[in-house]
Every structure is written in structure tokens, then in C-alpha cells.
Structure 1
Amino acid sequence: MAEPKFKLCLLIDDNFIDNFVTRKILETSNFAEQIVVIQSAPEAIAQIQAKKIQPDVIFLDIRMPFMDGFEFLKEFDMLHLDDNKKIKIFMLSSSLDPVDFKLSNENKYITQFIHKPLTHKVLESIIL
């Protein structure tokens, strides 16, 4: 099996089942050395800001209570981290709203919009 592509992968999604499936896909693909799942965007911001976690890749859901994916990105931008532009962020969502897709494509931090569920095939295409 190949070496993991990333050190720390952060999965931000409030849905337990989606997290379970996505985590299994990431683990069986040897995607990252460590996979951290956080079920709320405010908690993820707090962990990143406190430097408790330093992800190099993030899978971010759009529709979440308290703070959605786009609000997370605004807060993330205000952290002014030295390496926040180096962090690859993939919007991982079941949203079919063209506005969500457009906003994702226009955001400087979003590498790619991916429709749920994450699959091995999609994961392979983003690793290459």
C-alpha cells in the first residue's frame, strides 16, 4: 500500500452516517496518516485556531446547524494562518443547489466541490 498522501485529514460534517462512510473510504484508501472527525464547524474553527489540529486537507459539508460550510470558510479566512492557503479544502455535500456549487467554485479556499457520498474513484481522482 502506498504512503498516505496527507498527514492530517479533517472531516467537518454534522451527519454521523456520512462521517462513518467517508471515514471508511479515507481509511481504506490510506488517504492520510490521521483522520479527525468534528461534527460542528465552530468546534473545528476553535481546534484549528488553538492549533490543536493542523490539517493539510479538509472535507467540509455545507448544510450544518449553527455554522454552515460557507460561514466556516469566512471564519477560517479570519484566522490568518500562515499556511491556510496550502490547506486543500474539498466541499463535500449532497446539495444540488446551483448557488452552492457557484459559491464553492468562487471561493479561494475550495479546491473542488464533491457530491456525497465520497467514493474510492473520486478520491483517486483528487489524489492524482
Structure 2
Amino acid sequence: MMLNPYKTCLLIDDNYIDNFVTRKVLESSNFAEHIIVTESPAEAINLLQEGTVKPDVIFLDIRMPMMSGFEFLQEYDTLVMDKKDIKIFMLSSSLDPTDMAQSAGNKYITQFIHKPLTFKVLEEICS
């Protein structure tokens, strides 16, 4: 299908099953050369801070126990790193209009995507 439009994709979601499904969709569509998955937003911040992971794309869940997707974005904002080419997609099962409005108003979020991630949505992202 697609041919690695992105080099590195970072998936941040506390739900193991969601991560498994999302990863399979990303892998089978050849979305990125490298797919890094973490269930912890705090760990993701550390990886970014250390420069261990340099993603082109981040898929971020909203509702996570220790740090929400929006709290992640607050931390992300403080990181000293080049962010201009990083696309962040809020990937959530939330139907809360407040979450969607908050996503729309965030300068880092490219798009709000409802779970589950699908091939169709990936095609739209890549086109």
C-alpha cells in the first residue's frame, strides 16, 4: 500500500489492546519505517528530551491515568527541540466536544482522529 511516507512514528497510549491494533494498522500500511510504542506519556517525554526518539508523527491518546494527552502537550511545549516538522494526531475514543475543541485549539495538534485508526484515515493523512 503506502511506502513509508514517514521515518519514525511514536504511538503514545496506555491501552495495550489499542496499541496492538494501531501498530498492526501502521505496520501493514507501511506508514513509517520505525514505529515506537509507549504506554507512558512521561516516558515519551523522556525519549523526546533525550533525543532517543525523533518522530515525524506522534499518535497521542487523550485519556491516560498518570498524564493525559493534553498534559503531555504542556510538557512537550517546554521541550527544547525542533518541533516544526512533527505532526501530532490526537487519537482518541473520546466523543467529548470539549476534547475536540481543545485539540482544535492546540497549536501542536494536526488533527483529531477517532479510534480505531483505519487505513482510510492513514491514506488521508498521507495524501
| TM-score (normalizing by structure 2) | 0.97
What's 1:53 paired with? 53
Distance 1:66 1:23 in 2: 22
Aligned to 1:109: 108
3-state SS of paired residue (2:117) = coil
Shift of residue 65 of structure 1?
1.0
Matched letter for residue 104 of structure 2: N
Q: Equivalent residue for 1:88?
A: 87
| Residues in 2 aligned to 1:98 and 1:115: alpha-carbon distance in whole angstroms | 12
Cα RMSD (Å) of the superposition?
0.9
Counterpart residue number, 1:68:
68
Query: Shift of residue 2 of structure 1?
Result: 4.5
Secondary structure in 2 aligned to 1:90?
strand
Aligned length: 127
Q: SS at 2:45's partner residue?
A: helix
Q: Any idea what the Cα deviations from partners look like across 1:70-121, whole Å, max 9, x if unmatched?
A: 000010010031x212100000000010000000000000000000000001
* Alignment-mate amino acid for residue 114 of structure 1: I
Per-residue Cα deviation, 1:11-55 (whole angstroms, up to 9, x for no partner): 000000000000000000000000000001000000110111111
Structure-2 residue corresponding to 1:43: 43
- Give the 3 Å change call, closer, same or farther, for CA 2–64 of structure 1 in structure 2: closer
**What is the distance in 1 between the residues matched to 2:69 and 2:80?**
18
Instruction: Report the residue type matching 2:120 in the other structure.
Output: K
Structure 1 unaligned residues grouped into runs of 5+: none
Looking at structure 1, the residues matched to 92 and 71 of structure 2 have their Cα atoms a distance apart, in angstroms, of 15
Structure 1 consecutive aligned stretches of length 4 or more whose deviation exceeds 6 Å: none
Q: Report the secondary structure of 1:113's partner residue.
A: strand
Tell me the amino acid that sits aligned with residue 93 of structure 1: S
* TM norm structure 1: 0.97
Q: Which runs of 5+ in 2 are unaligned?
A: none
SS at match of 1:85: coil
